[in-house]
């Protein structure tokens, strides 16, 4: 294992922030796995830490294939992780909305510009990321529809779903999108929780990455079989939003199978406890995403329901 300093962000008031990459093997830049781009992505950091420990043992046993190399970057914004701030604190910016960056721009753009220069040469890119809303997903692979995507290859992770997402304007400056435009075969993995460690989802995500590295001939290691995979798109998903604000009491959680008309959650008046609204599923399917904050605002999405799909 080699430790590389990918970039350094100087600071007047504390130690400089070094972004570290852990490199295994030699030769072709085969795959890079990137963890926390936001300061609250604890689960993503944890999965990367476990992956570094795993690959260290694989390399010791001669399991990195000749002429191949893989890099793991556990986190990019250590400053924000230290303070628990989701955004890049000095500018209040989302780092994952600043790609491909600008070496002459603001600090957040210089960070993403320097990072992208180091990572764009890799054949495969895997990002462990999180949703803009707090909540839980069914672990899945996500890829942007850029015209260059390869969802079939994403099936090699062996997670239940590969979600091909139609990009919105805000997505055009994300790592997944710009990676693809630069020629990297890019995938985003949603690893269950964000702000807390979910051991089961972390294990599932770790095994998915190992399965992909094995399938691509980058490492040789024991692996467990994956799921039967279904490729889905935005057309397969329905959002359930709250029509009013209040406390949110969920009765169904991510991964639950629900039938049309079934109760999902109650919106409660935070002062007198009265039920203001009952949220119900408009179709039979699986809860793909569940917002897990204690409060909900008016017209905010609470659930994403995946309609019944054929595996």
More confident residue, 92 or 272: 272
Q: How far apart are CA 23 and CA 52, in angstroms?
A: 9
Residues 175-189 pLDDT 10s: 999 999 999 999 999
pLDDT at 281 over 50: yes
148 near 186, Cβ under 8 Å?
Answer: no
73 near 34, Cβ under 8 Å?
Answer: yes
Residue 303's domain spans which residues? 235-307
Tell me which residue of 138, 128, 134, 97 sits closest to 232, measured CA to CA: 138
Tell me which residue of 143, 201, 206 sits closest to 177, measured CA to CA: 143
**195 and 283 share one domain:** no
What is the 3-state composition of the chain as percent helix, strand, coil, each rounded to the nearest 5?
25, 35, 40
Angle between the 199-215 and 42-60 helix axes, to the nearest 10 degrees?
Answer: 50
The kind and range of the H/E element at 264 are: strand 263-268
What pLDDT is stored for residue 84 in this prediction?
80
The token pair at 2 is: 């080699």
Q: CATH code at 11?
A: 3.40.630.10
> CB 10: neighbour CB atoms within 10 A?
8
Average pLDDT over residues 232-239: 96
Which of 201, 228, 255 is where one domain is finished?
Answer: 228
Q: What is the pTM of this model?
A: 0.91
**198 and 168 share one domain:** yes
What pLDDT is stored for residue 12 in this prediction?
64
**145 and 108 share one domain:** yes
Residue 10: pLDDT band by 50, 70, 90 thresholds? confident
Residues 66-113 pLDDT 10s: 999 999 999 998 878 887 889 988 888 999 999 999 999 999 999 999
Q: CATH code at 260?
A: 2.40.50.100
55 near 3, Cβ under 8 Å?
Answer: no
What pLDDT is stored for residue 309 in this prediction?
55
Structural domains of the chain, count: 2
What pLDDT is stored for residue 311 in this prediction?
38
Residue percentage of the chain with pLDDT more than 90: 82
**285 and 193 share one domain:** no
Q: Kindly report which listed range (11-20, 206-215, 226-235, 269-278) carries the lowest average pLDDT score.
A: 11-20
Strand partners, 187: 126
CA distances to 49, 191, 197, 209 from 203, rounded to whole Å, are 12, 9, 11, 10
Which residues are CB-neighbours of 125 under 8 A, at least 6 positions away?
Answer: 31, 32, 34, 119, 175, 176, 179, 184, 185, 186, 187
The token pair at 100 is: 């491909």
pLDDT at 310 over 70: no
Rg of the chain, C-alpha, whole Å:
20
**179 and 107 share one domain:** yes
**221 and 266 share one domain:** no
What pLDDT is stored for residue 213 in this prediction?
98
Look over the chain and give the mean of its residue pLDDT values, rounded to a whole number: 93
Residues 112-166 pLDDT 10s: 999 999 999 999 999 999 887 778 888 899 999 999 999 999 999 999 999 999 9
CA distances to 65, 83, 254, 297, 302 from 245, rounded to whole Å, are 54, 29, 21, 4, 11
């Amino acid at each position: 294992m080699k430790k590389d300093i990918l970039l350094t962000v100087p600071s007047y008031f504390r130690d400089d922030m070094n972004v570290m990459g852990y490199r295994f093997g030699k030769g072709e830049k085969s795959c890079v796995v990137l963890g926390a781009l936001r300061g609250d992505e604890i689960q993503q950091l944890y999965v990367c830490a476990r992956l570094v420990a795993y690959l260290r043992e694989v390399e010791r046993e001669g399991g990195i294939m000749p002429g191949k190399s893989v890099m793991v970057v556990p986190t990019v914004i250590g400053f924000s992780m230290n303070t628990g701030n989701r955004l890049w604190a000095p500018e209040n910016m989302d780092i994952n909305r600043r790609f491909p960056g600008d070496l002459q721009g603001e600090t957040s753009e210089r960070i993403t510009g320097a990072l992208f220069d180091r990572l764009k040469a890799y054949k495969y890119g895997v990002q462990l990321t999180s949703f803009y809303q707090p909540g839980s997903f069914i672990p899945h692979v996500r890829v942007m529809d850029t015209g260059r995507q390869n969802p079939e290859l994403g099936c090699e992770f062996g997670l239940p779903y590969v979600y091909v997402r139609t990009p919105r304007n805000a997505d055009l400056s994300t790592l997944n999108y710009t990676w693809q435009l630069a020629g990297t075969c890019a995938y985003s993995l949603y690893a269950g929780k964000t702000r807390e460690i979910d051991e089961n989802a972390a294990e599932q995500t770790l095994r998915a990455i190992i399965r992909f590295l094995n399938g691509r001939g980058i490492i040789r290691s024991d692996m467990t079989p994956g799921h039967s995979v279904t490729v889905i798109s935005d057309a397969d998903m329905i959002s359930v939003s709250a029509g009013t604000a209040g406390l949110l009491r969920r009765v169904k959680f991510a991964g639950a199978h629900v039938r049309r008309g079934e109760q999902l959650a109650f919106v409660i008046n935070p002062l007198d406890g009265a039920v203001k609204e009952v949220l119900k599923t408009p179709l039979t399917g699986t809860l793909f995403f569940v917002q897990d904050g204690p409060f909900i605002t008016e017209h905010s999405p609470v659930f994403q329901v995946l309609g019944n799909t054929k595996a």
